Structure 1
């Protein structure tokens, strides 16, 4: 099985964006203008907006959108006065960032890189990292938390969204248990073949120990947490939380 799975995932995301993926649709001009007037919300998880009090003062803040391309959150933060950098491995998602920046007349630092590798930034470079649901496409999350701690300034904030591992136990209908956990296609030829065949990308389940205790072990202090559901489907209908968002401080 291909150990260069992140290359498969970057190409898969590019294709999803081309096909109209909801997380690859840039915001429109009116949304940007409203943000300039202080009317805004952003998502770390599918449906529940991040509390505004979770953020630092964004005016003049150095902010990193980690795996956050797409032209959805970075334009909002720029409208609020932040100096934004976005890192993603999807060319299509970064193209969306360029498109919105050009349309609205602002500059943004755009970095095409793989977050499974050491992040290409110096120590203590950022006031805030915004990391929406994306580490489900990464086999090991603990190194990412350590890199986030390294590149944040003392007192810096990490806002992260991630999926619960239980969601990977279900089949596509979300009505039948199908897979044993942890879910890792790199260790199961059948899962890997299904992921390639169905154009899912190579995804991984992660326990709360990996996600939350991993942040704590990296040196963070957890200061906030909330749950969220999918936007539709049986798990949503029964209000079963399958996403989490955390606020952690260096």
Structure 2
């Protein structure tokens, strides 16, 4: 039986499936790292860190990284990957975060917000823990994605939808919230952010050789939308 968004149940299989996948390893994570740029010496919060691959990449580039995830299973996987001394804990992005005001230069939120109906409280908390002028770098489902799959769907509404996945042989259901682009940018502005970058990146170098069948005839594809926001 599928369990919706329960990473405590399928987290190990999700981590195994996505470790070297096209969508994650050769698209999402490289795009986030590229947008972050030079992070040496910067204090970075990985919000919804999963099993820790982004945390690891940013730390290798000299960032001082802290991470949290709502799934205890994912935090344990991240700790195995990153070491017992890694600054990791279980926390929920929809609730007050266990960090002081203005603690971070950057916050990374990769593939998290599209699980949430309400963005106002999470964005307010992320703004609180960022220094003035700090950056919120995020990736969410591209707002045109569901409309492309389901042409009769209402693009301009905010609504929930569920998709079945198979991670490392285990079936799982993920439930998302579709919202149009203007609803996203309105939420960013209301929370005290200025949109600096909207990105629809290509895949990373090497992807076409490793995933020739999936990328045949494609120079790029629509999947996620990436933002760099500045705390004002």
TM category, shorter:
0.7 to 0.9
2:110–2:140 CA contact under 8 A, matched in 1: yes
Partner of residue 51, structure 2: 70
- Where do 5+ consecutive residues of structure 1 fail to align? 1-6, 27-41, 186-190
Partner of residue 17, structure 1: 11
DSSP-derived class of the 1:85 partner = strand
What is the aligned length?
211
* 1:189-200 to 2 correspondences below 5 Å: 199-200=172-173
**1:240 offset after TM fit, Å?**
4.9
- CA shift digits 1:115-134 (9 cap, x unpaired): 11222222111111011122
Give me the TM-score of the superposition, normalised by structure 1.
0.69
Q: Tell me the distance in 2 between the aligned counterparts of 1:154 and 1:69.
A: 27
1:87–1:112 CA contact under 8 A, matched in 2: yes
**1:239 offset after TM fit, Å?**
4.7
* Match for residue 102 of structure 2 among 124, 131, 143: 124
**Ranges of 4+ aligned residues in structure 1 off by more than 6 Å:** 229-234
Aligned alpha-carbon RMSD (Å): 3.5
* 1:14-163 to 2 correspondences below 5 Å: 14-21=8-15, 25=19, 46=28, 49-50=31-32, 52=34, 54-55=36-37, 57-59=39-41, 61-102=42-83, 107-163=85-141
Whether 1:220 aligns to 2:193 is yes
2:4–2:172 CA contact under 8 A, matched in 1: no
DSSP-derived class of the 1:19 partner = helix
2:48–2:67 CA contact under 8 A, matched in 1: yes
**1:46 offset after TM fit, Å?**
3.2
**1:68 offset after TM fit, Å?**
2.0
Q: Tell me the distance in 2 between the aligned counterparts of 1:51 and 1:109.
A: 19
Q: Tell me the distance in 1 between the aligned counterparts of 2:86 and 2:122.
A: 23
- CA shift digits 1:195-231 (9 cap, x unpaired): 7xx7322211122123223212221222222114799
**1:178 offset after TM fit, Å?**
5.4
Name the CA shift for 1:169/1:233 in 2 (closer, same or farther; >3 Å): farther
Q: Tell me the distance in 2 between the aligned counterparts of 1:217 and 1:43.
A: 32
Q: Tell me the distance in 1 between the aligned counterparts of 2:180 and 2:195.
A: 17
- CA shift digits 1:83-108 (9 cap, x unpaired): 22111112222112101122xxx722
Whether 1:241 aligns to 2:222 is yes
- Where do 5+ consecutive residues of structure 2 fail to align? 165-170, 204-210
Q: Tell me the distance in 2 between the aligned counterparts of 1:45 and 1:207.
A: 22
**1:166 offset after TM fit, Å?**
2.4
DSSP-derived class of the 1:204 partner = strand
